[in-house]
Structure 1
Amino acid sequence: MSTAQHGTERTTAADGQFDRRGDILVVAARLFAERGYLNTTMTEIARTCGLGQSSLYYWFRQKEDILLGLLALNRVSLEFAEQMVTDPGSPAVRLLRLLRLDIGELCSAAIDICEVEVLAEQQPEVFAEFWADTAALHQHMATLISDGIACGEFIDCDPEFAALNICAAEEGVQRRYRNSTAHAPGGSSPFRHPNYSREHVASELAAMLVRGLLRDPSTLPAVIAEAGDDVAVTPTQAG
């Protein structure tokens, strides 16, 4: 599931005027990325935006509304999944392309998707659209896996269960990526490992997940070659 990324520039509306709502979203995204959603307060968002508390509440009644605004900005993974399901060609190639993009988006996002899910479970009505998007992305992954089984590319398995575990692996790695500085050489954690780039994380994990489904794992290099490097993670600014 893709979440909104953060930018640094002030946003403008369609008429070229300063977009206050968009600016609040940009600032909030940066604070969420730096401090975490749960550790960021409305007071801090207002102060960083140069607004009074009442002015911020004019645009957003509560912090959850800001989060929902950010989530609505970026549905890149879901839109790409819809394309991959309808495109022709190898299901393995299409799934690899989707996973690379989705993992990259998750690792780039201003918000930890695990934090979002905790909030969404507590307030399912408020986060109804988030859950609908999550279910749709999961279903598109399951469809690609089903197609791969049907054409003989993938091993026989439960597509729904496989998609569920792919999503779990993606969520786990984005959480690790967010804490990579502490675990990198010279970091504060007792457990340290190389500091991998976002692109490396996305490419390697996507390849491992697809390899686990392939009936003939030796075809993975050909799948990777056919997928190419055309899917890039593109920053999305609020506004």
Structure 2
Amino acid sequence: MPSLKSNPPGALAATDRPAAEAADAPAALSAPVKKRRRGRLTEARHEDKRTAILRTAAQLFAANGYEATSLDMIADALGMHKATLYHYVDSKESILYECLLKSFADLDTVMESMEDRAVPALARLRLFARSLASAQNSDFGRCLVLVGSRPLDMVPGGEVRKFQRRLDSTVRALVVEGIADGSIKPCNPGLVSAMLFGALNWVPRWFDSEGSLSLEQVVDAFLDMLVSGIAAPRTT
């Protein structure tokens, strides 16, 4: 029988080493993993608080106007000190800018879908109008409609204006396509776009979600009147 030699004090037998390393591995990895998790949770909580600040500000801007809403009012509505507010935002102007960016955050995907010619142009126009109305009647959308982008006209880049032009171009392109395929009679695409946006831009000023009509019903009624007109067919 081979002789058995005892291990030096504190040493691990070869057969014991893998098990010991496996036992130690989670402890060794737990610190950085936990640190990353804490970082993500902190970032998520920070973003949640930031979103809450922006949403509250958007509601106050829409209700009181941009000029009449102060950072003190926003902080009071959130139950926090104004100094705490500065941990999340830089200025009232930056708050408005981010509110306006959030107001059309989901419309990029909608505009991309408008290029799918497998769906008839008029059907896409209705989908676009529904999506736009939904965005406009959110807290951030109402802020954009009721406050407007005028307070940000001096901000470099003009992202809000650029996006508004993209929305207009999307509608015009759908009308041009419909004219080409015969589903829309010859008309001025710019005027159709102006009429559609003029109608939808007014909805956040009067629409009541608890009223007799849903937002989708309002939009569909507008589109029906735009597409078919309101004159009754003549009888002969």
TM-score, normalised by the number of residues in structure 1 = 0.66
Counting aligned pairs with the same residue, the percent is 25
State which drifts further: 70-79 or 131-140: 70-79
- What is the alpha-carbon root mean square deviation over aligned residues? 2.9
Deviation at residue 136 of structure 1 after TM alignment: 0.5
Q: Is 2:73 the partner of 1:48? A: no
Decide which of 112, 126, 139 is 2:169's aligned counterpart. Answer: 139
The aligned counterpart of 2:27 is none
The aligned counterpart of 1:85 is 115
Deviation at residue 30 of structure 1 after TM alignment: 3.8
Deviation at residue 35 of structure 1 after TM alignment: 4.2
The aligned counterpart of 1:108 is 138
Decide which of 56, 75, 85 is 2:105's aligned counterpart. Answer: 75
Q: Is 2:210 the partner of 1:210? A: no
The aligned counterpart of 2:21 is none
Q: Distance in 2 between matches of 1:195 and 1:208?
A: 19
Deviation at residue 42 of structure 1 after TM alignment: 0.8
Decide which of 215, 220, 236 is 1:198's aligned counterpart. Answer: 215
Counterparts of 1:13-24 in structure 2, within 5 Å, are 15-17=40-42, 18-19=45-46, 20-24=49-53
Counterparts of 1:154-169 in structure 2, within 5 Å, are 154-169=184-199
Q: Is 2:136 the partner of 1:119? A: no
Deviation at residue 115 of structure 1 after TM alignment: 1.7
Instruction: Provide, for residues 44-66 of structure 1, a one-character-per-residue CA deviation record: whole Å limited to 9, x for no partner.
Output: 11123333223323432322211
The one-letter code matched in structure 1 to 2:86 is Y
SS at 1:88's partner residue? coil
Deviation at residue 68 of structure 1 after TM alignment: 1.5
Q: Distance in 2 between matches of 1:142 and 1:57?
A: 42
Instruction: Provide, for residues 170-192 of structure 1, a one-character-per-residue CA deviation record: whole Å limited to 9, x for no partner.
Output: 11233232xx59xx9xxxxxxxx
SS at 1:81's partner residue? helix
Greater share of residues in helix: 2
Deviation at residue 112 of structure 1 after TM alignment: 4.8
Q: Distance in 2 between matches of 1:161 and 1:14?
A: 51
Structure 2: 5+ residue stretches without partners: 1-37
Question: Is the Cα contact below 8 Å between 2:62 and 2:146 reproduced in 1?
Answer: no
Q: Distance in 1 between matches of 2:171 and 2:96?
A: 25
More RCO (CA 8 Å, sep 6+): 1
Structure 1: 5+ residue stretches without partners: 1-12, 185-193, 218-239
Structure 1's consecutive aligned runs of 4 or more residues displaced over 6 angstroms after TM superposition are none
SS at 1:89's partner residue? coil
Deviation at residue 32 of structure 1 after TM alignment: 3.7
SS at 2:41's partner residue? coil
Deviation at residue 209 of structure 1 after TM alignment: 2.5
In the alignment of these two chains, the number of paired residues is 186
State which drifts further: 68-77 or 144-153: 68-77
State which drifts further: 36-45 or 141-150: 36-45
Q: Distance in 1 between matches of 2:188 and 2:72?
A: 47
TM-score, normalised by the number of residues in structure 2 = 0.67
The one-letter code matched in structure 1 to 2:55 is V
Q: Distance in 1 between matches of 2:182 and 2:58?
A: 43
Q: Distance in 1 between matches of 2:53 and 2:96?
A: 11
Question: Is the Cα contact below 8 Å between 1:82 and 1:140 reproduced in 2?
Answer: no
Counterparts of 1:182-193 in structure 2, within 5 Å, are none
Question: Is the Cα contact below 8 Å between 1:31 and 1:40 reproduced in 2?
Answer: yes
Question: Is the Cα contact below 8 Å between 2:176 and 2:189 reproduced in 1?
Answer: yes
